[in-house]
Amino acid sequence: MGVVVQFVAGLIAALGAFCLGCVIGWSGPVELEVKAGKAYNFTPNTVEWGLTGSLMTLGGAFSCIPVGVLISKIGRKITMLGLVIPFMLGWACIIYPLHIAMLLIGRFVVGFCGGSFCVAAPVYNTEIAELRFRGIQGCFFQLMVVHGILYAFVAGAFCKVMLFNIACAVWPIIFFVLFFFMPESPVYLQQKGKSEQAEKSLKYLRGKDADVSGEMKEIAAESNKDKEPIGKAMCRKATKKGLFISIMLMLFQQMTGINAIMFYSTSIFEAAGSTLEPRFATIVIGVVQVFATVTAIFLIERVGRKILLLVSAFMMGLSTLTMCLYFGMLMDKKIGWLALVALCLFIIGFSLGFGPIPWAVNAELFAEDAKTLAGGIAGTCNWVFAFCVTLLFPILNEKLGACPCFGIFAGFAVAAIVFILFLVPETKGKTLNEIQAKLGGE
């Protein structure tokens, strides 16, 4: 029963990631209607639409470090619940914008709130999980993101923009209602000296009859360690190496092209001459992403992080190279189905490794005294990289064409393979102390 409870708590915490998925998936379904001036009383130009897609990622970049500090100061649960109010205000600006500026502000705000869960949810989930389930719980974030994206793709395909916006905006409220009844992280409670509450939280997660004394001793031992000032903690060899690895994984996650494909999927399929109507091709991508992410959750504790990352990078490189060749040489061959197959391969590859694992590893690499700040820095870098990709892709696509853009993505996938082979450690089944020793001793 304890396994079920901790999984339910983890999935509910990750509903914030579902809300983020709705934000990410929003751009694709509404693009044609908004750019045609049919959705609002204004028509954005190419740069304005690029900002509409990319400002949510900039909002995410601004959120990670402040949220990293907040989850350390006031708790994981209170921080995540407190995000709901600004989330709703952001959606209000998107539902009924009087000017393009309101739409841009709304996208920034929902990006800030959704991006906050990138730091808070994986930390919460790994802290409530037993060691044997830590990798699975760490993947719940990405699992709920892809479900949110699929929800947005399906709702956006069949709803007008106004109704679609409302259908996305209700999810932060649903998250608040459900997560309100979940416990605070026992690790956080112990760090604040609230041992009785920490034990109560752990018993709730493991079952009221479970013997949690051993786990409480481990949590207490880690919490009672002499904590170095944050500056010294960040300067430790293990922290610096872990931060470098985490940032590079975030770089490759974004620079291989995932958000360009997710944000502009409809227009990509339209440009490729897909034999399937673009909005339905987008739904196929969303379904494939969900199934591949579920597969990754079952594989992560069996195969390990490193092998899945290598397979992921190889598949993404192969698919983006195919897209590069398609747009460069095969457009007149009337094989639009190839674009759908290639992007499905990309999504499968991404979802098996580079979707969930960078976030899971980001919650595993750092000691408790450095986790929130280091994790926040890595998360900030992720969103900055995503901002660059989503802002520049439609502009470069218009100026240079799709072939060079996908060629760049393929080049980053090759670089990712080299990086993983030589520099990424395996964290499967290792305790925090073992991971720190490995990073500090190499």
The full 3-state SS of 58-115, as one line of letters, equals: HHHHHHHHHHHHHHHHCCHHHHHHHCHHHHHHHHHHHHCCCCHHHHHHHHHHHHHHHH
Of the candidates 220, 218, 219, 200, the one whose C-alpha atom is nearest the C-alpha of residue 210 is 200
pLDDT of residue 310: 94
Residue 429: count other Cβ atoms within 10 Å of its Cβ: 12
Could you tell me which of 25, 12, 31 has the C-alpha nearest to residue 77?
Answer: 12
**C-beta of residue 138 within 8 angstroms of C-beta of residue 126:** yes
pLDDT of residue 335: 66
Q: How far is CA 31 from the centre of its chain?
A: 22
Please provide the DSSP assignment of 161-218 as one string. Answer: HHHHHHHHHTHHHHHHHHHTTSPPPHHHHHHTT-HHHHHHHHHHHH-TTS--HHHHHH
Region of 334 on the Ramachandran plot (φ > 0 left; ψ -120 to 50 alpha; else beta): left
What is the C-alpha to C-alpha distance for residues 251 and 137, in angstroms, rounded to an integer?
23
Residue with tokens 């809300």: 19
C-alpha triplet 259, 353, 338: angle, nearest 5°: 60
Give how far Cα 199 sits from Cα of 12, 48, 119, 203, Å: 21, 51, 24, 6
Whole-number pLDDT of residue 413: 94
User: H-helix or E-strand containing 253?
Assistant: helix 237-255
d(CA 403, CA 401): 6
The C-alpha atoms of residue 195 and residue 108 are separated, in whole angstroms, by 39
Q: How far, CA to CA in Å, does 53 sit from each of 30, 261, 289, 441?
A: 11, 12, 20, 42
pLDDT digits (tens, 9 = 90+) for 174-232: 999 999 999 999 988 988 888 889 889 888 888 877 777 888 888 887 666 656 677 78
Dihedral over alpha carbons 97, 98, 100, 105 (to 10 degrees):
-50
Please tell me the distance from the alpha carbon of residue 62 to that of residue 64, in angstroms, as a whole number. Answer: 6
How far apart are alpha carbons 365 and 242 in whole angstroms?
A: 6
Which amino acid is residue 250, in one-letter code?
Answer: M
Percentages of the chain per state (helix, strand, coil), in multiples of 5 = 85, 0, 15
Which residues of the chain register pLDDT less than 70?
Answer: 1-2, 222-228, 262-279, 330-336, 441-442
CATH number for the domain running over 2-182+225-441: 1.20.1250.20
Q: Which pair of tokens denotes residue 178?
A: 């459900």
- What's the predicted TM-score (pTM) here? 0.78
Report the phi/psi class of residue 257: left, alpha or beta, with left for phi > 0 and alpha for psi in -120 to 50.
Answer: left
CB 64 within 8 A of CB 380: yes
pLDDT in tens, 110-147: 999 998 988 888 889 888 888 777 777 877 887 898 89
User: CA-CA distance, 48 to 404, in Å (whole number)?
Assistant: 23
CA dihedral 240, 245, 247, 248 (to 10 degrees): 140
> Rg of the chain over CA atoms, in angstroms?
21
